[in-house]
Amino acid sequence: MRGRTLMIGLLVVTAIFAVALWWFQTRAYYERSEGAEAIDIAGLSIPVEGYSQIDATSSPLKLRACFRLVDPADLSRAAAAASLLTEEARAAGAALEPLVAPGWFDCFDAETLAGLAQTDGAQALVAARNAPQGFDRVALILPDGRGWLWRQLNETFQE
């Protein structure tokens, strides 16, 4: 009888730990914000609409955002402004590939975005280097004005 009680107790504690671990990895710490009117790309303020973002103070890598350019013609201005930063990051070996977001943040799907990044006219731009130190803020913008933001490690912390 004691063995059965011990096993049930162990399974209950394991289940509680598993649920807590899942919650802390996918839900805790994230803060959602919406409605930004502009994004900053290499010091240039680009007007956007439909902005939705998640971020956390626990890690710079948790930033994910989705938006649409008010004027898709701003893509060329953004690309010109970010060209030096993007070249610098690529020379340092940056892949400029989106990182996976929590499943509940529907507008950001890393696999889909990686495929979209290969389409004609899509621009993967480094919007800011070392923001914060060791992390680059990257924007992927399509010719139709849809865009996404995320942060990734730069060469400071890559081995």
- Mean per-residue pLDDT for 70-94? 91
Nearest to 137 by CA among 93, 92, 82: 82
16 part of a folded domain: no
- Mean per-residue pLDDT for 20-26? 91
13 part of a folded domain: no
Residue 63: count of CB within 10 angstroms of its CB: 20
Strands (E), the chain: 31-34, 38-41, 44-55, 64-69, 123-128, 135-141, 146-153
Q: What local confidence, expressed as pLDDT, does residue 159 receive?
A: 64
Instruction: Show the domain range for 132.
Output: 31-153
Q: What local confidence, expressed as pLDDT, does residue 2 receive?
A: 84
* C-alpha count within 13 angstroms, C-beta hemisphere, residue 155: 7
Q: What local confidence, expressed as pLDDT, does residue 146 receive?
A: 95
Question: Of all residues in the chain, what percent carry a pLDDT higher than 90?
Answer: 76
Question: Whole-angstrom Cα distance, residue 51 to residue 69?
Answer: 9
Q: What local confidence, expressed as pLDDT, does residue 9 receive?
A: 94
Give the range among 5-9, 62-66, 117-121, 147-151 with minimum mean pLDDT: 117-121
- Mean per-residue pLDDT for 71-88? 92
Q: What is the pTM of this model?
A: 0.86
Nearest to 113 by CA among 81, 138, 86: 138
The residues, any chain, with a CB within 8 Å of residue 34's CB and separated by 6 or more, are 51, 52, 53
Q: What local confidence, expressed as pLDDT, does residue 1 receive?
A: 65
8 part of a folded domain: no
Please give the residue that has the higher pLDDT: either 159 or 38: 38
Q: Name the pLDDT band for 129 (thresholds 50, 70, 90).
A: very high
Give me the number of domains the chain comprises.
1
17 part of a folded domain: no
Nearest to 139 by CA among 157, 117, 107: 117
131 part of a folded domain: yes
Q: What local confidence, expressed as pLDDT, does residue 125 receive?
A: 94
